[in-house]
Structure 1
Amino acid sequence: MPPVIEFTAPPLPHYILSGSSYMPSGGKHTNRKNIGVFDLLVVVYGCLYVGEGDREYEIKEGHALILRPDNHHYGVTGCTEDTLHHWLHFQILGDWNVIEEEIYQQRQWSCLESQAPGGVSLPAFSTTPYTVQLPQFTQLAQPQKMIDTISELTEMNQHIHLASVRFKQQALFQDVIMLLSASLRAEGPSPQSACAEQAAAYLREHYREPFSAKKLGENTNFHPVYIARCMQKVFGCSPSAYLIRLRIEHAKELLLQTDLPIERIAEEVGFNHAAYFTACFTRIEGLSPRKFRQWFSWNRG
């Protein structure tokens, strides 16, 4: 069974950098030793075959692996299919150690058995350290939420020269830690998470189509009201708002990678009216599509 990474906080883990990597069939993970930072790998689709020390892992869709900063990791074999994964480098500035999962489970049972009926009181006016456990290898309880969070962190790297953005990244990165920690405790996705993930997957595949709560419900076999409640809990927004976010993300790619006019881009990502597209884009990104394209073209030049 894969081990558990345990650390003491404060201080909290520190986000460094993130990105995504596409590997065609036959592509192989990098061979590296003692890189000095933790490397989180989250597979979107396909499968990565990665080894660390004497352990080998198959990181399938919706799974995550944390590579340690003090170990040797390498590609076991090439991908057997096209594979996309997100990577995220972070550092734990305080104490941390690795424990085998069997020992972790025994400790959890011991804590439950020894817990006082009235709870535990902490000393006032003092900082009380606590421990956090992360699974080194896991099937994520909320894979799409993890993917969305890392994607948002990566997108923010374009403004990393701003102190306010770096501060926001550190706060958002704690959601990644929470999602990993929750996956260690979860026996499987909750019904709400499963519903939200299934609805999000449908919207990602059909983001160009007009939104229909009824059609979404029919294709996921959940009542539209239940879907909305689940997506609000898991993603913090309604299905229609999630769809707009998806369209804006695709629009940003087209703005930066093509010379298509704004009106055509709006149509390509599913907006019927360019004015509504511009209003949604400006509200979410803080600047218009035209200024977004100009700003990044100028900075790249």
Structure 2
Amino acid sequence: MNSPILHFISPPIPYFVDCGHATYAAGDYHINRNCIGVFDLIVVLKGTLPIGEDGRNWNLQEGEILILHPDGHHYGSAPCTEDTKIIWIHFQTFGSWKECTDMDECLDNQTQLIESHKQKAYLNHADVCSIFIPKHMKITAKAKEVLELFFEQEHEPQSLRNWKRQASFQLLLQHLDRDLAFPSDATAIQLAERVELFIRCNYTRDITNSILQKELNYHPNYLAKSMLKVYGMTPMAYLQNYRLEQSKRLLLQTAWSVARIAEEVGFHHVSHYSSRFSKKEGLSPSGFRSKFIRER
């Protein structure tokens, strides 16, 4: 099933707001509403639900999921032709998100979306990652099991129920995110994650494409292709970016000199570090520090 993809950046992870059931008799329409302020995840449990958003229409069948925008116009595009039952889950996110036509567009825009997210979510030096959720898809057995948890918790005390539903919602997102990957993408995703983990654990060392090939037993060209597909950059570009991000932590959390910080994160020459930092951030390491740290 080809579908647009909702591309979220986390942290923070999109969070649960509310959930419930709705039923429609033959002849009923889905409610007409505009800019409800939350994402609306709809799952059809029984029957068929004709629904539209901003001029696009779907005829949701049993077992299908659709996610509607918080700032869109939602409406019944036609009357139900049979008795229909749905689950709805409202959720929201803080920071940046984008709907893309396909995964290629998601990856092409990933770097820009991450930078926008860091500004909006005040994550100047945090590690972030992408979550890819199909706008329209068939629910899997595992995701359906998680959905059932939302309503098994109905008789829990309110405070406990809210905690459990947040946890269930995050688990649901994880299943929807992973279910998006085609079998041909799964190996690339797993390999890119192995590369990312190796870099994160060893970024202070000298890392080259040859070292990655020896450690992971894959040709550098395939490693680069996998990283580009998942992270939007090659292993060496990811390494440099990660070192710069770690240096931002040290600039804000220590009084170390710029030269020491450059060495601590894996740069051999402070001039090279300063040049790379300035190109990425638009100001020098010292300028970045003074922007956020007030002298006593």
- Residues 123-151 of structure 1 deviation map (CA, whole Å, 9 limit, x = unaligned): xxx741001111111122x1x43333223
Equivalent in the alignment of 2:285: none
Equivalent in the alignment of 1:147: 144
Equivalent in the alignment of 2:92: 91
| Residue aligned with 2:180, SS | helix
Equivalent in the alignment of 2:173: 177
Equivalent in the alignment of 1:284: none
Quote how far apart the aligned CAs of 1:70 are. 0.6
Whether 1:167 aligns to 2:168 is: no
Equivalent in the alignment of 1:24: 25
**What percent of counterpart residues are identical?**
33
CA RMSD between the two structures:
2.3
Q: Is the 8 A contact 1:139 1:183 kept in 2?
A: no
| Residue aligned with 1:185, SS | coil
Q: Is the 8 A contact 1:27 1:79 kept in 2?
A: yes
- Segments of 4+ in structure 1 off by > 4 A? 106-111
1:180-195 to structure 2, matched below 5 A, reads 180-186=176-182
1:54-73 to structure 2, matched below 5 A, reads 54-73=55-74
Change beyond 3 A, Cα 1:42–1:186: farther
| Aligned equivalents of 1:186, 1:80: Cα separation in 2 | 34
Return the letter of the residue paired with 1:81.
E
| Residue aligned with 1:30, SS | coil
TM-score by length of 1: 0.51
Q: Is the 8 A contact 1:135 1:183 kept in 2?
A: no
Return the letter of the residue paired with 2:86.
H
- Residues 54-96 of structure 1 deviation map (CA, whole Å, 9 limit, x = unaligned): 2101111111000110110100011111111111111112321
- Structure with greater Cα Rg: 2
TM-score by length of 2: 0.52
Quote how far apart the aligned CAs of 1:110 are. 11
| Aligned equivalents of 2:99, 2:46: Cα separation in 1 | 28
Return the letter of the residue paired with 2:92.
Q
Equivalent in the alignment of 1:131: 130
Report how many aligned residue pairs link the two structures: 168
- Residues 278-300 of structure 1 deviation map (CA, whole Å, 9 limit, x = unaligned): xxxxxxxxxxxxxxxxxxxxxxx
1:1-301 to structure 2, matched below 5 A, reads 2-101=3-102, 104-105=103-104, 127-140=126-139, 142=140, 144-159=141-156, 161-162=158-159, 164-186=160-182
| Aligned equivalents of 2:33, 2:104: Cα separation in 1 | 31
Change beyond 3 A, Cα 1:109–1:12: closer
Larger displacement relative to structure 2 (20-29 or 32-41)? 20-29
| Aligned equivalents of 2:74, 2:147: Cα separation in 1 | 22
Change beyond 3 A, Cα 1:145–1:20: farther
Q: Is the 8 A contact 1:19 1:151 kept in 2?
A: no
Return the letter of the residue paired with 1:68.
H
**Structure 1, unpaired ranges of 5+:** 112-125, 188-301
Return the letter of the residue paired with 1:136.
K
